[in-house]
Amino acid sequence: MDFVSTRIITGDITRLVDFYERATGVRADWSTEDFAELRTAGATLAIGSTRTVALFAPGSARPADNNTVIIEFRVADVDRVYRNLADSVTDFVTEPTTLPWGNRSLLLRDPDGNLVNFFTPVTPMAIERLAR
C-alpha cells in the first residue's frame, strides 16, 4: 500500500491553493477548477472544492471544520517560512520554537482554520531520525 495524499475540502479553493503555493513554494497542478494538487518529494496535498464532495457522498466532508489533523511540512528553514508568511497569516499558533524532540517548529492556521506545522530538524538526533 502507498500513502498518496491528504485532501482538504474548501469553500474557496483559489484562496487556499494560493496560500499553500506561497507557504510551500510549490506550484499547484490543477486538474479542474475544483481540484488541485501540490506535489512534493514526500507527499501530495490535494485541495478540492465543496463541489467535489457530492461525487463521493453528499455531506461527507465539511470545509473549515477540522479540529484534529495537523498538516506538516519539513522545510529547510522554518524561520524563513515564518518571515515569508508574517504579513499574510492572521493566526500564528506558535512562532518558530525549538521543541524537546529537536524540531524547530512553526504552527499556524491556514485560511480555512486547518492547523499547519512547518518544521526543521535542528538537533543531531532529530536530523538522524528524519533521515531514515
Q: 75 with 130, same domain?
A: yes
Q: 5 with 43, same domain?
A: yes
- Gap between the Cα atoms of 92 and 82, Å rounded: 9
CATH of the domain at 27: 3.30.720.120
Is residue 79 assigned to a domain?
yes
Q: 50 with 99, same domain?
A: no
Q: 76 with 30, same domain?
A: no
Q: What is the pLDDT of residue 130?
A: 85
Q: 52 with 80, same domain?
A: no
Q: 101 with 46, same domain?
A: no
Is residue 63 assigned to a domain?
no
User: What tens-digit pLDDT sequence spans the chain (132 residues)?
Assistant: 888 999 999 999 999 999 999 999 999 999 999 999 999 998 999 999 999 999 999 999 999 998 899 999 999 999 999 999 999 999 999 999 999 999 999 999 999 999 999 999 999 999 999 886
8 A C-beta contact, residue 9 and residue 49 = yes
Give the end of a domain, one of 57, 85, 105: 57
Q: What is the pLDDT of residue 1?
A: 81
Q: 76 with 131, same domain?
A: yes
Q: 51 with 76, same domain?
A: no
Q: What does each C-alpha distance from 99 to 75, 84, 95, 107, 120 come to in angstroms?
A: 15, 21, 12, 12, 10
Q: 81 with 122, same domain?
A: yes
Number of domains in the chain: 2
Give the end of a domain, one of 57, 78, 100: 57
Domain carrying residue 30: 1-57
Is residue 64 assigned to a domain?
no
Q: What is the pLDDT of residue 52?
A: 95
